[in-house]
Chain A
Amino acid sequence: MTTDTAYIRDTFVPAKPAPGRTGGPILWLRTNLFATPTDSILTVLGVVFLLWAVPPIYNFIIGQAVFPGGTVEDCRVEGAGACWAYIHARFNFFIYGFYPIDQYWRPNTVFVLGAALILPLLIPSAPFKRINAVLFFLVFPVISFYLLSGGVFGLPYVPTEQWGGLLVTLIISLVGIICSIPLGILLALGRQSDLPIIKTLCVMFIELWRAVPLITVLFMASIMLPLFMPTGTNVDKLLRALVGVTLFASAYLAEVVRGGLQALPRGQYEAGASLGLSYWKRTSFIILPQAIKHVIPGIVNNFIALFKDTSLVSIVGIFDLLNTVQAASSDIDWASPTQAVTGYVFAAFMFWIFCFAMSRYSLWMEHRLDTGHKR
């Protein structure tokens, strides 16, 4: 019998060993780390780098470090790592600066109150948003100011020169962030305006502040300003820095928001207008919610930069977190070879905590608001 089939196998295919496991660490290593010769070389180099870099860092931060309970003599030993005992001993200074020790409950109350008000504001499902917002944005600043500076209700007066540390860093960044949002949005809207005077003023303001480095603004506020004003008028140094930082941040924010406004199709404006909505209604109900959603990453980027920029106020003699760390590194009671480095590592860690939290929150917010524009 003949068939059309050209080839018929007449023997069995020889048995092959069972395929390697489709999972497991070996396979993972193969596919991820040693897939090609280039990958293998890079992997080896990477491991060598880690072996070279990690142990000294580990030794410095944990292995050879002196933990609370240790003394300055322990820190002075040759080869000692980070002197955490010193951070522990001066911790209050890093948080409160020169705030009188017996009055620490006041900044503490502000911290707790702030956290209690801001957390529900950040959690979308928490109730009473409107009251909460009024409390946080209007009542909280007033209470905090009187609580911190005192001079009323029998609280001893604490001048702003004595505020310091993390307290001041948070005050400057919170005030900067919160005040720059409305200012920045108004400036961005103004820049898009058809009214020539408003438009020119906004453009001039934005371009002026963006053209000057923050450090110059702070220097100007703290050195030149007092010389222009009649002797005796004394604007608080912290207030000067706050105003400088806020105006500076608002100019940048305005440009970010403008980016969002430009990303909106013209139809959105026209649709709003055709519904008979006024400019402000159109802007606040249709344009801004969409525009701002677009630029959340940019806005948060600005805020993180602002938070870190607050450390620049140290050059005008305000004791923010970084400056207290710097000042304490001249503390002779804890003088040791690693004193300054330990302080800076601590400051970096504190800054990292806040910046990382902000960036995570914004990422989460972005996902939450991501309605219909997913790419």
Chain B
Amino acid sequence: MLRYTLKRLLSLIISLAIASLVIFTVIEVAPGDPASFMLGINAAEDTLAALRAELGLDQPKWQRYLAWVGGMLQGDFGTSYQYRTPVSEMIADRLWVSLPLALYALTLSTLIAFPAGIYAASRRGKASDVGVMGATQIGVAIPNFWFAMILVLIFAINLRWFSAGGFAGWDKGFFAAMKSLTLPAIALALPQAAILARVMRSSLLDVLDEDFMRTARAKGLSRGAALRRHGLRNAMIPVLTILGLQFSFLLAGGIIIEQVFYLPGLGRLIFQSISARDLIVVESVTMLLVFAVITVNFLVDLAYAAVDPRLRARA
């Protein structure tokens, strides 16, 4: 287990290093000088030079790369060109919207997908299985931002149960804040639930064909008990992998949903920073998202290597 962990940890570090290089390079070759963007086209050359020096843009590229990476390792994500505030503070504020939204959506998606997938697998080939699978086919095809608009139309405009957008803020209380995240979370969760239900069903069907399931039935367990005690646990491995991938997708995929609902999350921060050429913010937020994705997948890998010794041997 230690050997496997170290090996995966090494590849995690290499991935992060390469990812940071790629992001830095993409931002570097981006057209548009932040200094001239901030001062306008009539700025004098010496003012521009002074601002570039202040922002550290006059230093060699490799030096700036090292300063950026070194800073992030110590929790310093740089200073916003536009607002002159630490990027880490801006991220922390927005994370309190994006992270709860992703977790909320993940919870909803799991609550819908697990029962649906298990139900379909236990009714394999019957009309109810075909019905559930047909519904997931449609769920997969629905763009989440369109679904969000329809939810707003029905529940905010017609029924007036929710507000059409905006975030109440955590200082208004837990329920008020969660209420303003509810429609966005549903919009994000439903297409993901459709995918998850399909994975759950197919993974369970694979397990149901195994010999140990027949043994479990033979020793007298009912269908339901065999499914719960032996089937589900073994079917969870592919499901966990997809859950890990979905978490990162929800964190990043919230970007467009945040646009629909005017939520002040990381997605809106990226959009606003791109249009203001506040590239240090774009750079750091992107790196943070990539870091989250790589780390979550790393943890999922470790989690099921701990659960299933066969995976350790194969790796």
Q: Do A and B bind each other?
A: no
Measuring CB to CB, which residues of chain B are less than 8 angstroms from any residue of chain A? none
Measuring CB to CB, which residues of chain A are less than 8 angstroms from any residue of chain B? none
